[in-house]
Structure 1
């Protein structure tokens, strides 16, 4: 009964047996490498580095992608592994030299992940390779054996990743993006029908579209699959997701502003149908082997819509402001559809023409990957970078642990650093959480190991039992929880060293002392150095990001009123997007504090994306100075921009300090636009000026709409329409 109950518990925690299959794969590779090196080649050095190569690359490293991609990463990482082992072997002659190398390598390896957070999982494995080699005995002549053992382990593990029970491939971000594009396209078709036939409601497709787009949030995607790298393709995927959110929001505004009577030949409806086709094609182009989306259809549709857009001189008839508002919304939506289409082309590696650059939006696609990574690194060399804090904390803790292990002349001092690496987290709260299972598990494992070694002293017994302990440590322990995992890993290390350098029950004692020392160093570093982790940095960085977005909005309004273009303001938003995105990714690996849990981070980050994408779209059809010389319009727009700036500032204050903020500007629909604009229409004789006014005012209303989705209006305030 006990065995049946345990098996059922394991299956519930491991749907599809993913963890157990991976454990079986690692067990076979580790056993083959260890037996071949220890007993076949009769080389404890080969066996040590072979086994720890499997443990580091197979258990400590969290690799992204499907099995073939993980195998390629393992093989291509070998030169870096060789360099780390060589550096550790040559610096092992002195405790201080090894500690200095640990400080530098610990920081560089951890900070290198800023260019591609999905590869941060390699950092622990790389550090472990240096740690293992940097301890006595100082034997540089054994470097070929060390490199040979690790190479054998990594190559066999790469082969096993592809051949032995490969992990099932989860839904990729590209697939989620394609599904969301298909859902949004269906909603666009439904919205077009609602404009021409108001009785046909698109509610069902609306809900599906919102659900599909919600799946694009980084928090809902595994870190190994989320597009968080600095490269052009990942950046393009993030822009595609932001563009889809904006398309959906604009379509929702159009659906809510449907005319009360059918308009069979409405220009906005025709444009929406073309946008639906392009959106659907853009999503499909993300599939492997699919042709790139053709921009010709959406460009032609935008051209036709602009051709029937009222631009002539005003006459006796008053401007049809509701129609202008609907057409402006449809054109803004079409611009975001084009951004989506261009983004999918960049994500697929296509080269961009000049007309595809969309000002600075896809400027990065013209640069090589090393330039983009350098920009990412440079952006994070800032005092408030959460990634910089985390890298420095880890490097200092590992260096201190290396000094302590060397000064105390611990026989298995690398266990001290291994414990520090295991316990230390990006926040003090997470470090304290990891401390308890590490210590309790090690105590339990040491007691069991010591008892076994007092009773059984024949190495052959431990050789026979090694595969079972490997399976328990890699599979069962991981499923049962951190305490079990640490206890079974302690038993595994005891069984391994009983065959490499038999020391009896004192080996278990040494393991316990080393782990406790390493855990204490990890906790002290976690408490002393930036203990709040990414949560506080994220709130502070997001507040600055929102402030930059508010500046961009104000300067865009000033530009259409005759001021200079807002290029520098938009560049500042893009620059701060790098920091806030990185902090956001790290934030999801931590325990969240109360103020951070109250924030809808996806919508907060979306507010900045919406400001940048919308500003560039707006200025393409409403060039700087298009509303110069119209004082009444200037007063109206500056008033709206001032309200938005206050709302951005209040939201930034709420994000930074967790305090309630003031009321949010209520988004306006087309009827509200008519009421706002009617008093100033008598001062202008050009319908093109009216069109520009409607477009700018509509853009400001859409920004207020995005803020309302983050923080609903206070009690008693009117809400223009329901939002999901």
Structure 2
């Protein structure tokens, strides 16, 4: 997009119309895409115009490759993109048919645009493939819903769709296809192999703990979606994609816990810890092999059994003469890593299709196992049917803008009125500032392009052979420079493309360029109005609200989890006392995650303050709360002595109160003051409750660290050891 992160001064020079700097890979990719789209478009357009003399057929054969090849960010390799277009053809045919018949009246076409726009944007939350084709599907309805009302041309329209889509599929597959990208499964497998190698090194005692920790953290960072190509991110609503995403989250948590453990294992580990670490290394290697397809997924039972055995034998050795606290902290951290390994193993089994259910594991963690794909789609869509979801806001903003543009174009009887909707569709952004920036540059580009097109139309007149000769090079330049140059170049060059194309379909004059200016300006104004009136702050405000709601939802879970541990109750797979809080936390986590995903695509404010909330840390905080609610305590214990229970409840009150304060995002941050354990308490509690107490201590300190990082400036933990 055009200069999204660039500071804007009062004076603007001609340099702002130059293409934004782009990487060589981006430029090469745009050039390859330009060749594919141009070949697909002209291969159907020229025969339809010159041999068949069917202008409607020609128009659709030209615009369908442009819609799927330029306007729609199709993910993945050439083969995957071809499959995406093929699956979208039935929906495109239905929308063209619907638009053709609703064009009978302005009000019906406008109402149809409202419904179609809202439905398509909301359905885009299903996954990246649907997201990629939504702009193309919107264009299919836009083309068909404009006058003249001509149901008799529907066969030509559908024929143009069939030819254009077929040529697009062939070109995406065979002509300079996009290369295969490293899969997310491969990234997770690489990370698990790194974990297995690090665990073996720690067991042998020759590895440097700090270097190992940094290597593990670096491997975990590679699993972030921001470092993964959009086409291979497992963001779909299907069970396998959900499982792969969960495997990625759990693997990152596992690596981070191993990294925290690595500097603490410079001394020889106790025998139970060494055995568990060895088993985890073997499990990681097996799961990596399963993701690469070289062996079946082992399933989580083996790691669960290791955890059960470890929880039964860990503790303070009778001959230990030093302070047992460091040993118990190491054991607790290792056990937390093992619990993350259980999640990894279960998620890998689901992601590789080996299972359809996960009996024995918390139902809330793998609720999607065994569910049908349509149900999972509906769950994803229904989760965004709230004004607090940025997906819902985008659907309302886009649908309202397109419907208003259709109403204005139809009521004013604008020539080539579909350009009004096309301008609104391509220039609309999720923030008012970004929309204004795009509109401002697009207006300048359209003006320059229209002047050039007007001069061409006046000088060439009705010599169609001139336009036929110019169409191919114009399309190549427009579809190469436009996407990397920004709205100014895109709109200006596209004006030349449509002028040379329409001049071959029907006689035109320089007034075509004038109509282009009027239509794009009209669409730009409508998009700007919608951007100002409908959630102008984009995801930034919603990120703050959803993070605050997430903090409020997690607070009760913290208290319930510690209460169960202090009273000696194991954590069952279903908990009536926490079910409502679990549901609320999961729901707000999904909404906050969607807000965070959109926030990463928006330009930062021009005067953004230093520091501020760390939204990713807020998401990590809630994930850690959920993991603790599922797994703490690890097994049945006994009730703690009164001084230990009092400490746990006081520490919990402090974390819960800090969580609720953090929901207000105070400018000076929050301070979490956790008192140390009562003196001598670790020697007075029998096993396994002494280990449970330290488990809770480590968990609460980790929550405090995440919480203070999430809130921003001035935050700190007092009394912690991390």
What TM-score, normalized by structure 2, do the two folds share? 0.90
Partner residue in 2 for 1:113:
124
Partner residue in 1 for 2:629:
615
User: Partner of 2:663: helix, strand, or coil?
Assistant: helix
Partner residue in 1 for 2:458:
454
From 198, 223, 228, the equivalent of 1:216 is: 223
Q: 1:76: how far off?
A: 1.1
| Cα distance in structure 2, aligned partners of 1:306 and 1:633 | 20
Q: Does the C-alpha gap of structure 1 residues 322 and 209 become closer, same or farther in structure 2, counting only changes over 3 Å?
A: closer
| Cα distance in structure 2, aligned partners of 1:106 and 1:122 | 13
| Cα distance in structure 2, aligned partners of 1:319 and 1:238 | 40
What TM-score, normalized by structure 1, do the two folds share? 0.89
Q: Is the 8 A contact 1:653 1:659 kept in 2?
A: no
User: Partner of 1:120: helix, strand, or coil?
Assistant: helix
Number of residues of Structure 1 aligned to a counterpart in Structure 2: 695
Q: Is the 8 A contact 1:192 1:270 kept in 2?
A: no
From 485, 493, 497, the equivalent of 1:488 is: 493
| Cα distance in structure 2, aligned partners of 1:288 and 1:450 | 59
User: Partner of 2:671: helix, strand, or coil?
Assistant: coil
Q: Is the 8 A contact 1:426 1:534 kept in 2?
A: yes
Q: Does the C-alpha gap of structure 1 residues 595 and 276 become closer, same or farther in structure 2, counting only changes over 3 Å?
A: farther
| Cα distance in structure 2, aligned partners of 1:509 and 1:430 | 26
| Cα distance in structure 2, aligned partners of 1:295 and 1:426 | 42
Alignment of 1:559-638 (within 5 A): 559-562=564-567, 565-593=577-605, 594=608, 598-619=612-633, 621-623=634-636, 626-628=637-639, 630-638=641-649
Q: 1:598: how far off?
A: 3.3
**Once structures 1 and 2 are overlaid, which stretch shifts more, 462-471 or 314-323?**
314-323
CA-based RMSD: 2.9
* Unaligned segments of structure 2, at least 5 residues: 1-18, 570-575
From 143, 152, 158, the equivalent of 2:163 is: 152
Q: Does the C-alpha gap of structure 1 residues 53 and 354 become closer, same or farther in structure 2, counting only changes over 3 Å?
A: closer
From 411, 432, 455, the equivalent of 2:415 is: 411
User: Partner of 1:219: helix, strand, or coil?
Assistant: helix
Alignment of 1:30-41 (within 5 A): 30-41=41-52
* Unaligned segments of structure 1, at least 5 residues: 1-7, 667-671
Partner residue in 2 for 1:285:
290
User: Partner of 2:231: helix, strand, or coil?
Assistant: coil
| Cα distance in structure 2, aligned partners of 1:311 and 1:683 | 12
| Cα distance in structure 1, aligned partners of 2:715 and 2:506 | 72
Partner residue in 2 for 1:183:
194
| Cα distance in structure 2, aligned partners of 1:208 and 1:653 | 36
Q: Is the 8 A contact 1:57 1:74 kept in 2?
A: yes
CA deviations 1:295-333 (Å, max 9, x no partner) are 454345334423423599x99999955434333332221
Q: Does the C-alpha gap of structure 1 residues 120 and 148 become closer, same or farther in structure 2, counting only changes over 3 Å?
A: same
| Cα distance in structure 2, aligned partners of 1:119 and 1:679 | 60
| Cα distance in structure 1, aligned partners of 2:526 and 2:638 | 63
Q: Does the C-alpha gap of structure 1 residues 715 and 579 become closer, same or farther in structure 2, counting only changes over 3 Å?
A: closer
Q: Does the C-alpha gap of structure 1 residues 533 and 98 become closer, same or farther in structure 2, counting only changes over 3 Å?
A: same
Partner residue in 2 for 1:676:
677
Q: Does the C-alpha gap of structure 1 residues 297 and 689 become closer, same or farther in structure 2, counting only changes over 3 Å?
A: closer
Residues 1:557 and 2:562 are matched in the alignment = yes
Partner residue in 2 for 1:269:
274
CA deviations 1:36-91 (Å, max 9, x no partner) are 21112211010001111111111111112222111111111111101100011001
From 338, 343, 347, the equivalent of 2:351 is: 347
Partner residue in 2 for 1:254:
261
Q: Does the C-alpha gap of structure 1 residues 410 and 713 become closer, same or farther in structure 2, counting only changes over 3 Å?
A: closer
Q: Does the C-alpha gap of structure 1 residues 499 and 246 become closer, same or farther in structure 2, counting only changes over 3 Å?
A: same
From 431, 435, 445, the equivalent of 2:435 is: 431
| Cα distance in structure 1, aligned partners of 2:622 and 2:51 | 61
Partner residue in 2 for 1:445:
449
Structure (1/2) with the larger helix percentage: 1
Partner residue in 2 for 1:394:
398
Q: Is the 8 A contact 1:103 1:399 kept in 2?
A: yes
Q: Does the C-alpha gap of structure 1 residues 191 and 713 become closer, same or farther in structure 2, counting only changes over 3 Å?
A: farther
Partner residue in 2 for 1:537:
542
Q: Does the C-alpha gap of structure 1 residues 589 and 634 become closer, same or farther in structure 2, counting only changes over 3 Å?
A: same
Q: 1:720: how far off?
A: 6.2
Q: Does the C-alpha gap of structure 1 residues 700 and 36 become closer, same or farther in structure 2, counting only changes over 3 Å?
A: same
| Cα distance in structure 1, aligned partners of 2:130 and 2:407 | 28
Residues 1:244 and 2:251 are matched in the alignment = yes
| Cα distance in structure 1, aligned partners of 2:245 and 2:656 | 25
**Once structures 1 and 2 are overlaid, which stretch shifts more, 457-466 or 548-557?**
548-557
Partner residue in 2 for 1:141:
152
